[in-house]
Chain A
């Protein structure tokens, strides 16, 4: 029997008084495309950020590929991992941000090869060839030498996806990847994500694009006030929600 790629167990996270996550448990299976939906403040972005340790959980545990994240168990106590270990664990996930966060002083190509060269220490010519192939895959072969400021939002986000893929992650995390885009640029980014989903990549996508969720997601998870309210196949959660809160959210969004 296969094991979940990500196992989240009883994870809580507070920001001061605010409970961002309240004992959340969830599994993500290899090859699965999961869409997380919910109002802002519902905890979906925090959950994503906890998986690649940009946010540190207060209690509970997250296992990625069977490895406990951020801490090590020893004699019945948990010890925080060092920066190096956390960096190594982060390499298993690729993160795509709402605001792209490309490095503005580097070209599209330089953005993509930065991680493989500097962090993974791989060979320059090999990394470069892969980066050019990734740029081709996201439809930006002509923009290799452009700086982020010379690219549209949609193009920047596609470079950001290529940058995350260059680290060869097992899991791609998308944090509202189209929310900062002009409406006419959303489609090109979603198209790249659809292609990625088809290629078998395991993906967790925080999104407000219900059309994308309906079409691509294997599972839709609806969160509210730091907890998972309802989850299931896209057709079920989006088409015939059981929970009142899910119904209210969907009718407000559509």
Chain B
């Protein structure tokens, strides 16, 4: 056999040739169809029995603005309570102590197992069970005075959220390598310090996306507190349409506010994620 030439002939030179752009006809047709459908929906609403002037008038009405502020205040406070309870319960759940474990399991079982609206109604009507509450000999008060719509909503939403958040937190802590616990122990840290300094900061990176999800859920779940007279945005919108019968217009007003709030939250979540991603290659570069 002859020694092979350095390069065999018969293959055309492709250098300098560009890859042609595909026309993607189907995409264009699909996009056109979607635009048509959207236009039809917009037209239907524009010609439907909606007085858009009411929407624009009430979207910045004082009562609505107060409502959205109350919504946000409740969402933030209830979520803070939920995260606090969630961390505590997750730590209890992962503890070697069987008493703590069982209590934590029972809490999650009870508050995940019943509807949120039922829990809100129970808190609000606590006075029916305990007419007066307090610490014997120190302080007591009538339950109806203490259990305001605000407090009932905070307890109902926050404690319910804690049950869900505890599972998110537990997943986050379990995602941290066992070697991290051992390294923390090896430099003399106790369980709680290791959790606070080493495990939780790493777990946060994992739990922020699901927690962001939960917080968005919480913003909307505050609307359930309208049934116990908490003056959040949906409750206030309802009060207005009870008076002027502009039901759809005011529901649209409330809906637009929810959309706006949720749209602002998404980039905030990304900022948080970046903060807790310290040390991972994606941002370190």
Interface residues of A (CB under 8 A from B): 52-54, 83-84, 87-88, 90-91, 93-95, 97, 99, 101-107, 114-115, 118-120, 147-150, 163-164, 167
Contact = CB atoms under 8 A, between A and B. Distances in A.
A114 B201 CA distance: 14
Interface string B269-285: 00000001011110010
A105 B279 contact: yes
Contacts of A94: 186
A115 B193 CA distance: 11
B236 interface: no
Given A52-B186, A90-B188, A103 B180 contact: yes
Contacts of B48: none
A85 B246 CA distance: 69
B5 interface: no
A167 B202 contact: no
A91 B280 CA distance: 29
Contacts of A147: 278-280, 284
A65 to B, nearest CB: 15
Nearest to A160: B183
A104 B177 CA distance: 11
A83 B187 CA distance: 13
B198 interface: yes
B51 interface: no
Contact of B188 (A99, A104, A149, A167): A167
A33 to B, nearest CB: 20
Nearest to B278: A105
A119 B188 CA distance: 6
Contacts of B280: 104, 147, 149
B189 interface: yes
A119 B193 contact: yes
B177 A115 contact: no
B30 interface: no
Interface residues of B, number: 25
B179 interface: yes
Which of B187, B193, B197 lies at the interface centre, i.e. has the most chain A CB atoms within 10 A of its CB?
Answer: B187
Interface in B14-64: none
Nearest to A149: B281
B186 A54 contact: yes
Contacts of B197: 114, 118
B189 A101 contact: no
B202 A118 contact: no
Contact of A90 (B177, B186, B193, B284): B186
A167 B187 CA distance: 7
Contact of A101 (B183, B190, B191, B278): B183
Given A87-B190, A149-B279, A105 B201 contact: yes
Nearest to B202: A105
A69 B254 CA distance: 65
Interface in B226-285: 276, 278-281, 284
Given A90-B188, A147-B284, A97 B179 contact: yes
A94 B205 CA distance: 29
A135 to B, nearest CB: 16
A53 B185 CA distance: 9
Nearest to A173: B186
Given A101-B177, A101-B182, A105-B202, A83 B281 contact: no
Given A147-B278, A149-B279, A87 B189 contact: yes
Contact of B187 (A53, A114, A148): A114
Contacts of A106: 279
Contacts of B191: 83
Contact of B190 (A83, A93, A149): A83
Nearest to B179: A101
9 contacts: A84-B190, A90-B188, A103-B202, A105-B201, A105-B202, A106-B279, A118-B197, A120-B188, A164-B186
B207 to A, nearest CB: 14
A163 B190 contact: no
A134 to B, nearest CB: 14
Given A118-B193, A149-B284, A97 B182 contact: yes
B279 A104 contact: yes
A163 to B, nearest CB: 7
A124 to B, nearest CB: 15
A81 to B, nearest CB: 12
Nearest to B205: A105
Contacts of B183: 95, 97, 101-103
A142 to B, nearest CB: 16
Contacts of B278: 105, 147
Nearest to A119: B188
Interface string B205-220: 1000000000000000
